Structure 1
């Protein structure tokens, strides 16, 4: 694994405007501790090239966006955890960064990636009070055939599953949701703020250009946008030094990247569910101002 200084420089280069000197210190410390193992490097990047589209002669960023929007629809329909969606999209991007894919097979890549993520995170039995699963889930090859309207055969699904599983573990990287969870655990925030930040992470999965941002930095940007737009009581919706400390980035850096990288969210009418409620209904409505 590369030394921490090399990793920090690479991560800073992938996030324009963030100097190596302000990169979170604990990132360097953890990388030093893991320098004798592959986790240090692979856990940061997950073996994902953020500029892989030039290697894909048959697909485009627009096709990727359409695929991710379909995966989000499946995520909503099947009431999957957010972690399943975020990691499923990561599996898609990781596979596309190393394998050229025909446009006819792109939906299959997405469906199998979401199935693998779902099988890894959703194996607990139903608990008391939880709704029973619907007629279909996303755990088998037969389910993928169903959700893709018979576009692919079971044999094609199984072959794609074998390709996706080759050479990587489902837990070999730290997702943006992992970082957001740590931020929210370190600094108490209103439920509505966390709910907005979570929905912003979901929306960010559609944007190919955001792959160049480190997951920690993306989580910090989404949290900063959520704090600025949270309809909370006065005094709870202002970014402060404690939040900058737990995220590891100055407010001016986050604000600058909101203006450039997340500009597509400006004046966006956001609807999201409350994390404090067991309901999937989107009860929180806010127009984002960046």
Structure 2
């Protein structure tokens, strides 16, 4: 990265060979190169009114009972998520690592890189877990290794390559990743950086992310619904993804971010009832009062009170396939909610 306003001189542009994830179809691999340009969007405005709330005192719903999907591992779900809660506390980046470790790279540069990687993940239709793992790998590596700004984008595509190999059925080729940087780096440079990153992690790259917990918490949030709500699912995912770009959210652990996203999503869609209930408290292990600081910070992010111009995630969730949840606003959060 040459400066804080551009990624490797590309001014936010993503050059791609193929806008879809690679398959075994060689014709797609040879698709003509295209260029996409990031555009600004109008800031979301804030509404100040809210309605009177009523605490939901319904009993706890068993979200693991009679689930016929073997992939959900209902019998072991509680133990699995307990272990994930323990694992999320290990090897977490410090919220001030940038100031302590990096001299040439800033928080703003990190934000620009992550915002660009969001668009890259969209162009290659990577699963969300790949993006979350990519950002984690970047942060943990930056915490322990000084890096110059001109190599930051190299670190970004390398971490996405590693995350893709872990999460995707078919990861992008190294040559494709070089192309999206406008050939700023070579295949050998990517391979060398990949070796450095994996050695830094001792090849133990997996960690629970906020996306990991969000799946579980959304099941709890919709346990009493007659039919699943796509709006709350898309909105909670949108809010959670927004935190990836903002360095300040490193002070919150992934499960807190996921729980806060569910809380704020429910409040955004419905102010007539309390967004938290015994079922959510049971499965997240958080009371509403535990989430006050994180929910308030997340609402500031949702309303873009700081006027952030990194809008790839907002543009993504303005699309109809996500029910345009990025245009939703949430009313002021009354103290009585917590």
Give the counterpart of 1:180 among 198, 201, 214. 214
Higher RCO structure (Cα 8 Å, ≥6 apart): 2
Give the counterpart of 1:200 among 219, 239, 242. 239
2:169 partner SS: coil
Q: Which residue of 1 aligns with 2:161?
A: 115
Give the counterpart of 1:143 among 176, 188, 195. 176
Q: Which residue of 2 aligns with 1:51?
A: 96
Q: 1:261 to 1:187 in 2, by over 3 A?
A: closer
Q: 1:103 to 1:240 in 2, by over 3 A?
A: same
CA displacement 1:257-280 (0-9 Å, x = unmatched): 322465232367966659xx9x85
- Contact conserved, 2:236 with 2:262, CA < 8 A, in 1? yes
Q: Which residue of 2 aligns with 1:218?
A: 257
Q: 1:113 to 1:238 in 2, by over 3 A?
A: same
Unaligned runs of at least 5 residues, structure 1: 1-28, 125-137
Mapped to 1, the partners of 2:206 and 2:290 lie a distance apart of 28
Q: 1:253 to 1:173 in 2, by over 3 A?
A: same
Q: Which residue of 2 aligns with 1:128?
A: none
Instruction: Give the TM-score, by structure 2 length.
Output: 0.62
Mapped to 1, the partners of 2:106 and 2:299 lie a distance apart of 20
Mapped to 1, the partners of 2:215 and 2:96 lie a distance apart of 27
Q: CA deviation at 1:246?
A: 1.8
Q: Which residue of 1 aligns with 2:277?
A: 240
2:275 partner SS: coil
Give the counterpart of 1:164 among 197, 217, 223. 197
2:144 partner SS: coil
Q: Which residue of 2 aligns with 1:190?
A: 229
Q: CA deviation at 1:111?
A: 0.8
Unaligned runs of at least 5 residues, structure 2: 1-77, 223-227, 306-310, 333-338
Instruction: Give the TM-score, by structure 1 length.
Output: 0.72
After TM superposition, list the pairs within 5 Å mapping 1:1-290 onto structure 2.
43-53=88-98, 54-123=100-169, 139-166=172-199, 167-169=201-203, 172-188=206-222, 190-230=229-269, 238-260=275-297, 262-266=299-303, 280=321, 283-284=324-325, 285-290=327-332
Mapped to 1, the partners of 2:86 and 2:202 lie a distance apart of 13
Q: CA deviation at 1:30?
A: 6.8
2:105 partner SS: coil
How many residue pairs get matched?
A: 239
Mapped to 1, the partners of 2:295 and 2:190 lie a distance apart of 39
Mapped to 2, the partners of 1:107 and 1:267 lie a distance apart of 25
Mapped to 2, the partners of 1:282 and 1:114 lie a distance apart of 27
Q: CA deviation at 1:168?
A: 3.7
Q: 1:262 to 1:168 in 2, by over 3 A?
A: farther
CA displacement 1:86-113 (0-9 Å, x = unmatched): 1110010011011101000000111111
- Contact conserved, 2:234 with 2:323, CA < 8 A, in 1? no
Q: 1:42 to 1:172 in 2, by over 3 A?
A: farther
Q: CA deviation at 1:223?
A: 1.1
Q: Which has the larger radius of gyration?
A: 2
Q: CA deviation at 1:155?
A: 1.1
